[in-house]
Structure 1
Amino acid sequence: MKKTYRMQRGIISFVLIIIFLIIWGFMHFIYPMIVKKITIYEFPAIDSKLFLLPIGMIILGLLLGWSIRNKLWKGIPFAFNYYRMTRRLRRHIKDARFEDEREFDNRLVKLPKIKILFDCNRSRISGKVFIENSIKFDQKLEKMRIDSALRGYVGERNYLSDDRDWYVFEFYAVDSHKQIEFKTKDDYLSWTNITASDYSLRLDERATVPFHHLGLAGQTGSGKSFFIQMLVDQVISKKVKHELFIIDPKRTDVFQMSMRFIGSDRTADKTTAIELIKKFHERMLKRQDELQEYFKKNSNKTYRDAHLPALILLIDEFGALRESWKILPKKERDEVDSILADIAFMGRQIGCILWTATQQMNAQTMPTAVRDQLVLKVVLGDSDEQTYRTLFASSVDIPPIRFSAGLGLYSYPELASVDKPKMLAVPYCSYLE
């Protein structure tokens, strides 16, 4: 079996320790007996403890090297966890023949360097594995999955570092995607406030994002309706009094929630949806005029810098609603599409946010002009391939796993790219039932 240089150093160290232990045993037990029995020659007095000194130095060197490699200064549990992960990764990489054969008749191999960086050293629920890149293994590393080498963790996506010297593999703990249950609204809101500000939303244990245009897709039973109600709860609870305009063409739970907490003047069903969309658009144009003077004096600022509330237009079952507009004159349909495109295109800086939710995502259910402006993209539950490719990207990489209700994928700039979205585990709010 071929050995790595680290294995060779370890073997040499343990052989030296055994040799010095044998010498120490000889000098401590046998040598004094020889001195006593042989009197014709005066043997020099030798302290056997001298032979324990190199043993101690070797052990100290091994411990020091292990401590530095595994970052012992971050805590003993961290160091042992780091050691187990790197050891398992090295073994799997060696078995996969990611090795550089060296001298001694090709009996020694050099493995690429491996570093692990956790997002939080205490919880260690997610992080990154850095594997040194090389010309020889560049293509292999690009296609490699490290899931099987990460016991208790799952690989999420991989990419090259900025300097191209390392391949970066992001991972998360399997347990981190178990849905948290909240039995009261207060418990849920307290949890969201840990990471979310007045202008951001907490989606799950790992993801907290600023207010932005949202595209949400999910089949019946995916947890989509619960997720919408949870987002509404978050927005309503903020210290900044954001304005919600909600359209639910089916008059289901979202509609009833809006009627209770927001009121009929900013709630609509299928019959009054267009009227509310136009009302929101008028409010957006008014907001635009309000901010003109502020933007003249403050460049590269947004509504948040002006301490203004967000105006959020939430349209549930957008695909079904748009399908119902087919009976309208083409001029009126085009006008509504133009208004929605205008909101999506102009609304971000002035705080006019568009949230759309639909069961399926395709060219018929969502206008391209609107879809291209959606920044936060979420698919809950299992969905069809067309929905993934339409909402995220045609080259999207969907992991071959089954998504139950409340589990899915999301993308957001700097957190998860559209071609490699990340896992999302929305909390289960049983108080909504």
Structure 2
Amino acid sequence: MKKTYRMQRGFISFLFIGFFLILWFFFYKLYPLIVEQITIIQLPQIESKIFLIPVGLMVFTLFVNWSIRNKLWFGLFFSLHYYLMTKRIRRHIKDARFEDEREFDNRLVTLPKIKITFDDNRTRQSGKVFINNTIKFDKKLEDMRIDSALKGYVSERKYLSKDRDWYIYEFYSVDSHKQLKIKSASDLIEWSNKTADDYALRLDERATVPFHHMGLVGQTGSGKSFFIQMLVEQVLSKKVSHELFIIDPKRTDVYQMAKRTIGDERTGDKTNAIELIKQFHERMKIRQDELQDYFISNRNKTYRDAGLPALILLIDEFGALRESWKTLAKKERDEVDSILSDVAFMGRQLGCILWVATQQMNAQTMPTAIREQLVLKIALGDSDEQTYRTLFSSGVDIPPVQFTAGQGIYSFPGLASADKPRLLTVPYCSFLN
């Protein structure tokens, strides 16, 4: 059986402890009997407790080393959890035959240094595994998947540290992706406010993002409508009075919700969608004039720094809406595309945000100029390969997971790249039924 150098040191340490305990037992129990039986010579008196001193020192040293290595200052349960996770990873790496060396005719294995950090040391739902990189291990670490070594966790992406000294594996708990059930609007707002401010949205237990252009894809039954309504509820609950303009050509749940919450003036269907888009564009031009003087004296600032509310244009079922425009004159179609492109290109700094939702994503359902500006990309439920490649990137790596309603993937700068999107589990808001 292969052994690591740590195993060898531990074996030697316990061997010495056992040796001194045997000596202690001998001089505590047996030696006094021998002294009584032998009267020919006077045997010296030996205090048995002296052999417990090296035992105590070695046990104390082992305990201190274990405590430091497993961060006992965070608590006993944390340390035990940390120890078992590290031990399992080390065992899997050892079994993968990373490196063998011969020393004293024993087969010993040198393993890379491993560190684990949790995003929350109390819940330990997600975190990172750091594995020290060397020339010897670089190729193997690059190809290694550690999911099987993370009991109860899944690794979702891997990358090198900035100095390239460490391979970093981000992981999350399998339990953390159990869908949260929210029973009331007040519970939703309370949940959202834990991580999101007045200019941000909470998507699930792990992801909170600032207001930005969004592309949302989801087939029927994917939970897309529930997700949109959850976002609208969050926006309307903010202390800043953000303005929503909502278009739902099919007049489904999103349309009815918009009529109740924001009124007919900023709610549109297929018939008045173009008018509402033009109205939003005019509102954006007014906002641009409002911010000119502010931007001159405040470089690299945004509408948020000026304390202005966001203007959000949400278009649901965009593919179906754009399909209905084929009966219009080409000049009118091009004008609408031009307006939406203008919002996508210029709106972010002005606080004019474009949210587009559709069932499928391809070059026909959405112009490339608009699609490329959708920074927050979300796909709920299972979608076809073309949709994934169009929305995210041509080389997107889709996790091999069967998605149910409210589950999917997303990408956002700093959280997940378009090549390797992260899993998303949207809360189920039962009160929206």
Same-fold call, TM cutoff 0.5? yes
The whole-number CA distance in structure 2 between the counterparts of 1:22 and 1:32 is 15
The aligned counterpart of 2:411 is 411
Does structure 2 retain, via aligned residues, the 8 Å contact 1:100–1:111?
A: no
Which segments of 5 or more consecutive residues in structure 1 lack a partner in the other structure?
Answer: none
The whole-number CA distance in structure 1 between the counterparts of 2:73 and 2:309 is 45
- Tell me: CA distance 1:308–1:105, structure 2 relative to 1, closer, same or farther (3 Å): same
SS in 2 for 1:259: helix
1:15-414 equivalences under 5 Å are 15-105=15-105, 107-414=107-414
1:14-36 deviation digits (Å, cap 9, x = unpaired): 11111111111111111111111
CA displacement at 1:102 relative to structure 2: 4.7
SS in 2 for 1:77: helix
1:277-332 deviation digits (Å, cap 9, x = unpaired): 01100100110000000111111111011110000000000111111111111111
CA displacement at 1:45 relative to structure 2: 1.3
CA displacement at 1:100 relative to structure 2: 4.7
1:344-368 deviation digits (Å, cap 9, x = unpaired): 0000001000000000111111111
CA displacement at 1:61 relative to structure 2: 1.2
The whole-number CA distance in structure 2 between the counterparts of 1:247 and 1:105 is 75
Does structure 2 retain, via aligned residues, the 8 Å contact 1:159–1:167?
A: yes
| Bigger shift: residues 316-325 or 135-144 | 135-144
- Tell me: CA distance 1:51–1:375, structure 2 relative to 1, closer, same or farther (3 Å): same
Matched AA of 2:226: F
SS in 1 for 2:64: helix
1:108-132 deviation digits (Å, cap 9, x = unpaired): 1110111001011111100000111
1:45-77 deviation digits (Å, cap 9, x = unpaired): 110000011111111111111111100011111
1:92-150 deviation digits (Å, cap 9, x = unpaired): 11111123525334611110111001011111100000111122222221121111111
CA RMSD, Structure 1 to Structure 2 (Å)? 0.9
Does structure 2 retain, via aligned residues, the 8 Å contact 1:213–1:344?
A: yes
The whole-number CA distance in structure 2 between the counterparts of 1:321 and 1:406 is 24
Runs of 4+ in 1 over 3 A off after TM superposition: none
| Bigger shift: residues 155-164 or 142-151 | 142-151
TM-score (norm 2): 0.99
Which segments of 5 or more consecutive residues in structure 2 lack a partner in the other structure?
Answer: none
Does structure 1 retain, via aligned residues, the 8 Å contact 2:100–2:107?
A: no
Does structure 2 retain, via aligned residues, the 8 Å contact 1:211–1:353?
A: yes
The aligned counterpart of 1:13 is 13
Does structure 1 retain, via aligned residues, the 8 Å contact 2:255–2:269?
A: yes
The aligned counterpart of 2:421 is 421
SS in 1 for 2:154: strand
1:367-393 deviation digits (Å, cap 9, x = unpaired): 111111111110001111111111111
Instruction: State the identity as a percent.
Output: 74
The whole-number CA distance in structure 2 between the counterparts of 1:317 and 1:105 is 70
